[in-house]
Amino acid sequence: MQEHPKHYCGVFGIYGHPNAAELTYYGLYALQHRGQESAGIVVCDGKEFRAHLGMGLVSQVFNGGILQELVGSMAVGHTRYSTTGASHLRNAQPLTVDCKRGQIAIAHNGNLTNASRLRDELESKGSIFQTTVDSEIILHLMAQPTLGGHENNLIETVRRIEGAYSLAIMTEQELIGVRDPHGFRPLSIGKVGDAWVLASETCAFDLIHADFIRDVEPGEIVIIDKNGLRSIQAFPEHERRAFCIFEYIYFARPDSTIANRNVYKVRVEMGRQLARENPIQADVVVPVPDSGNCAALGYSLESGILFEMAFVRNHYVGRSFLQPTQLIRDFNVRVKLNLIAELVKGKRVIIVDDSIVRGTTCKARVNNLKEAGAKEVHVRVSCPPHMNPCFYGIDFPDRSKLMAVNHSVDEIRKYLNADSLAYLSPEGLVKATGLRKGSFCMACFNGVYPVPYDPLADKHSMERRRARVESLGEALVKEELQPKLL
């Protein structure tokens, strides 16, 4: 039962370091929370690309021997959760191509909203796709002939794609960072010594002792080569900003900084604002680890109610080969979080989490508290109710499966078996970030989509292609599950 939406992807790139592959490995390690299905690194020594990709966590895909084979001073890396395209090795990134322009590798965080139309257009002109991911479309567009040289081709490419994209692109001589004109996804620039670094989050800089320089601006293309860094604004007249506010709520690591705001501090402020808007008399504030920790602390600080880590998280949960039976009731719920009953027995408890999507996990937590003897259980949520799916790279369920779509707040409260339920308001959420309202995409809450999208057309087109690719056979799938040094 997946209560929280899954992460999408993390990208990393480095230019001008003799240990580029090793630093990329550590960068991806820091970005592991953004995707756990596959990981990959492509390096370049100025002439030749070397790549290794595999299914699983970064630490499972790479080891010391593999990294020693990845020789080069420039690299791009990617850790992936599939939003577009099936979970197979053929869809792992970075994607590479060898074309008339030379070798190109790309790592993409986000989701293109016009992918189906562009793919149909390219296929009608003879393009042959090897994957079902929208990121490959960008490679095909970059390989197209154009007037005015490489930089004009890059500008033309990013102007044709729509939706959310933060890109780390490597050619034989350059590292390139690109961010869509709305700025849906984060992308930052850093330096370690004389080497330049790109990363989805600044927490990756901390691990490799890189200094944060600045964020890549929405619509900006940064090109890093032997002459340093230069910038191109591909959308000089575009003013609308739509950074995904769910980065602050849940996705980004709390030790990252986005738009000069520390994520931890923003989440604590969300909890404070939640307490101002929805006070309640209680004895203890309890977070749902780890997503509710910061907001619960903020609620406690603002309300003056005692903060307790009553739920203890098991960080070493993997897949069990035994299915839960009557011997262990509620295995799936209890294996991840266990409750210290002494901290809540006979008390009025406020339980804080960052979101309620389907409601199944939250209901289990409320029941845990009441079974342990809690006198009252009050649920507080540090974001507004989720009312709409995301088309920009977050794996929210379709609208029919979102709890808040078909139920009132009181109906949800009854389903959760809670004594009260309250959400942070959209206005309070924006206020907690310290940024202006027009800075964000909040479509999952208010249904206002900054970039148009036709999900029905895209669904039909992608289903046809996925069926075609997956018809290659079970033997190919089994072969792809083995990590390879390419």
Nearest-angstrom CA–CA distance, 380 and 280: 10
Q: Which residues are catalytic?
A: 9
Q: Does residue 225 contact residue 44 with C-beta atoms inside 8 Å?
A: no
Residue 99, phi-psi category: left (phi > 0), alpha (psi -120 to 50), beta (remainder): beta
Q: Which residue has the tokens 């299915």?
A: 323
Burial of 486 (0-12, 13-18, 19+ CB in 10 A): exposed
Q: Quote the DSSP letter at residue 120.
A: H
Buried b (16+ CB within 10 A) or exposed e, 143-159: bbebeeebeebbbbbbe
Q: Does residue 164 contact residue 244 with C-beta atoms inside 8 Å?
A: yes
C-alpha separations of 117 from 6, 123, 165, 454 in Å: 26, 10, 17, 10
Nearest to 315 by CA among 289, 342, 352: 289
Beta strand 261-262 with 257-258: parallel, antiparallel or unpaired?
A: antiparallel
Nearest to 294 by CA among 273, 314, 317: 273
SS3 of residue 106 by DSSP: strand
Query: Which tokens belong to 224?
Result: 């890093």
